Amino acid sequence: MGRWKPDARGRLERAALELYVDRGFEQTTVAEIAGRAGLTERTFFRYFADKREVLFGGASQLEEFLVGRVADAPDSLGPLDAAIEGLEAVGTLIEERGTFGRQRQVVIAANPELQERELIKLAALSAALAGTLRRRGAEDPVASLTAEVAIAVFKNAFERWAGGSERRDLPQLIRESLEELRVVTADG
Amino acid sequence: MGRWKPDARGRLERAALELYVDRGFEQTTVAEIAGRAGLTERTFFRYFADKREVLFGGASQLEEFLVGRVADAPDSLGPLDAAIEGLEAVGTLIEERGTFGRQRQVVIAANPELQERELIKLAALSAALAGTLRRRGAEDPVASLTAEVAIAVFKNAFERWAGGSERRDLPQLIRESLEELRVVTADG
């Protein structure tokens, strides 16, 4: 083992994403990721169980963060606004990670198996969000419907943002998708 | 091969669902399904590629039906109402199949792999629906957002219906979930 290198996790993530974008997820090996990051395979496996976890390893912290934000949202907010406020905070986190979110989306969009994994993660996020809305006092079916719809708003905004032609940031796009939802539901 | 038996597909479906509910999906073999239906395994494989297809084989006809209904909805309907009208018609079809839809839901809810497959099918249905809304003149991001939200409404209603404690039928529950969505988006 080499000596300790600062930000090993971040370097491995950036190296992996670059390789996934350039060569494709399937074609990239852990040895190549570690090599590009100037680290060993052994170090890779200290941070990630496998190649896929570079893309999905953050899901549980993200869920915890979202649940915390929604639980702490002012009582005056209805369930949808509380959910969206939490998702906007998630959007700010994603913005702070720079190109990671967009590159990740490019990689996932190119691979059906990764798309399926992403759907499953979003469904888990929706279930966690519904649970938090229930603890805030929303009843079912409103809690689960609101969570599903808030995740749909987030997904819609995220896809526009990741598409790259938008100059607005992700929290702005989430707010805008919510306004579009309001127009759509009012109009039919 | 035995002589021709009427409604072999329906008998295989009913036999499979009963066994999946009683013993679990994983524990049921094709031989058992065929045996209970009074048919051969060879006949089973004439209708279904595998055990899973008994549950998911109808997805492409359902998609085609939904797309047709939404395309033919009156021009006066906005995208959300057109989508919901199509999904109500899907609800009527599901009602007409009697216990199949509820039993199917029980089996899927008990098996994570089947839940994943169901999410993927719903995402495909949402994409097809968005395409139809675009052909009706809706632009993106409204078309894709409306499709996602309409599928969320459908899923919410379906889960209530499949839960079995509802006396209302599936199309009524879809309409009611839509009204709840309108309240939620108006209130925040």
Q: Tell whether A82 and A160 lie within a shared domain.
A: yes
The token pair at A67 is: 């649940």
Cβ of residue A179 closer than 8 Å to a chain B Cβ? no
Domain that holds residue B39: 8-54
- Residue A11, pLDDT score: 94
Please state the rounded mean pLDDT for residues A73-85: 96
- Does residue A3 lie in a domain region? no
Q: Tell whether B30 and B85 lie within a shared domain.
A: no
Q: How many CB atoms lie within 10 A of CB B111?
A: 17
Mean pLDDT, all residues of chain B = 93
- Does residue B80 lie in a domain region? yes
B10-41: b (≥16 Cβ within 10 Å) or e: ebbbbbbbbbbbeeebeebebeebbebbebbe
Angle at A97 between CA A94 and CA A100, to 5 degrees: 90
- Residue A145, pLDDT score: 96
Cβ of residue B119 closer than 8 Å to a chain A Cβ? yes
Q: Of B54, B70, B90, which residue constitutes the final position of a domain? A: B54
CA separation for the pair B125, A98 (Å, rounded): 32
CA separation for the pair B25, B111 (Å, rounded): 8
A141 interaction partners in chain B (CB closer than 8 Å):
156, 159-160, 177, 180
Q: Tell whether A122 and A29 lie within a shared domain.
A: no
Residues A113-154 pLDDT 10s: 999 999 999 999 999 999 999 999 999 899 999 999 999 999
Residues B4-33 pLDDT 10s: 667 899 999 999 999 999 999 999 999 999
Q: Quick check: helix, strand or coil at residue A11? A: helix
Q: State which amino acid sits at residue B18.
A: E
Please state the rounded mean pLDDT for residues A87-115: 92
Q: Tell whether B50 and B136 lie within a shared domain.
A: no
Hunting for tokens 């009963």 — which residue is that?
A: B18
pLDDT over 70, % of chain A: 97
Cβ of residue B171 closer than 8 Å to a chain A Cβ? no
